[in-house]
Amino acid sequence: MGREQIDRIVTKGIAWLKTQQKANGGYGKWGPASSALALMALLDSGVTKSCPAVTKAVSYLLDCEPTDSTYFRSLTIMALNAVGEKASGIQERVQADTQWLVEAQGKDADDPITYGGWGHTSHPKIADSSNSLFAMLALHDAMLWGEVPFPRFDRQLVKSV
């Protein structure tokens, strides 16, 4: 497969994604999660942040009521970070979702099932690798913005070893 063929496929994918956007700027049936994934796909495919599909998706994410979900909060952080600017609303949302993740991380060193990890909600009975992975990726993005202290990673890494 040559570069020209890949570029045509990406162009078709971008066009398809734009047709799937709802009037409110969101995508899919999973609200902020679907929309964050679509926004990252658009931006990673070279669509500019001034494109109407991007600006509508950003507005949608900023207007969504944050949920008690590691997955949704993590994807929102990563998508808004992909926009590449700390514009009004974006930075506040990233800070709020980052703080939520920091507080949701398992802190009880005597509980090997949750310590250092994340579950689906802010009060999990068990931490799982999928939610922990998304939280770590989001916190990495937040760290690049200067929004999260290193010990959050340290606690997870200690658990993994």
Domain ranges of the chain: 1-64, 69-161
According to DSSP, residue 121 is labeled: S
Asked if the model's pLDDT at residue 161 lies above 70, the reply is no
pLDDT, position 153: 54
Q: How confident is the model at residue 150 (pLDDT cuts 50, 70, 90)?
A: low
pLDDT, position 2: 92
